[in-house]
Amino acid sequence: MLVNKERPVIGITTGDLNGIGLELIIKTFSDSRMLDLCTPVVFASNKVINYYRRLTPDHPLNFSSTKDLKQLNPKQVNIFNCWDEEVPLAPGTLTDAAGKYAIRSLMVAAQCLKDGELDALVTAPFHKGNTQLNDFPYTGHTPFLKEKFGAKDVLMLLYSHNLRVALVTEHIPVSKVAAAITKELVQSKLNILRETLIKDFGIDKPKIAVLGLNPHAGDEGQIGNEEQTILKPLIENSQRLGQLVFGPYSADAFFARGSYTQFDAVLAMYHDQGLVAFKTLAQGEGVNYTAGLPVIRTSPDHGTAFDIAGKNIADPSSFREAVYQALDLLNQRNIYAENTANPLRRGKIEKEKEDSTEKTES
């Protein structure tokens, strides 16, 4: 249920405090026009925000401080203070403190989202090198949110405009990818992808391309047999069910020839297979969406960028787009919910309209 349908309340996490996340947040929301679209709540502390405000003097940010989400200022950025203590900051440096408070920001925001106090969540990037804590035994945002919201499975989906690339496997070593590709896993990811295209993107009959695991999609079993034993049977079964699922395609030729333009989404087998092409084509405006959750969570498609952190040169385009897409996804999901809320009643109304039209014409 929306807290505010006209101006949704969007939670924002800091990401690594020494990365570019806070700079992106300030640059995005220093544009007052963003406040016409949503009420942003940044889960941080006044001290951290003020530190980065001094590093971005050309992007003045007005904010209100709060510890109560029932007392938000819709005309300013709201800082929800998750901590009061001083945190040592060193932009561009991997430190334990920066990781600890990045997780604090995420965990508080996720709980508020679960409690229905937020409408959607946008997460700034953190680093896996300093976030493996006793109370956070996860490899990233996605597995944490999966468990937090009790999802059976989730899907990492990156998109920009009409290009959508989803992953069967995510952040695992390449040496373990082939063993991870099972019928059950691919089918689960395919089901989530199809459902999210219908429910969150408003595509009634989505057309999905499945990439092969091996070079040249296995060359009919000459370079690996996963395509023959796993992917082709799944694709054929989907087609028998009337679903528009095709492949498996050789990844290099598929992207090089622009075949992706003929599909609503692409299902890649592993991280770099899909994301090297995606990030090249998206040109810095891609968004990462966690499909399969009962809530909306987006993020920019890049990392902490320690090499440019604190230098006031980070480009907020992807982060800003993540906010826009959170709002669009929220709106589309609500439209879908309204359209499918009472199909029997709607069918009766449509039948009454048809009968009325026939009587008028006669």
Instruction: Put the strands of the sheet holding 155-160 in their side by side order.
Output: 63-66, 77-81, 39-44, 9-13, 120-123, 297-300, 287-291, 155-160, 163-167, 265-268, 207-211, 244-249
- According to DSSP, residue 9 is labeled E
The DSSP code sequence of 151-172 is: -S--EEEEEETTEEEEESS-SS
Count of CB atoms within 10 A of residue 166's CB?
23
Q: For residue range 343-353, what is the model confidence (pLDDT) as tens digits?
A: 665 555 555 65
The pLDDT, as a whole number, for residue 1 is 33
Q: How many CA atoms are closer than 13 Å to the CA of 211, on its beta-carbon side?
A: 28
The pLDDT, as a whole number, for residue 3 is 40
Q: For residue range 150-203, what is the model confidence (pLDDT) as tens digits?
A: 999 999 999 998 899 999 999 889 999 999 999 999 999 999 999 999 999 999
pTM of the model as a whole:
0.88
The pLDDT, as a whole number, for residue 351 is 57
**Residue segments in the chain with a per-residue pLDDT below the cut of 50:** 1-4, 362
Question: Mind listing the domains of the chain with CATH numbers?
Answer: 1-151+293-362 (3.40.718.10), 152-291 (3.40.718.10)
Distances (CA, A) of 125 to 184, 188, 287, 292: 30, 26, 12, 20
Tell me the two tokens of residue 219: 């060359």
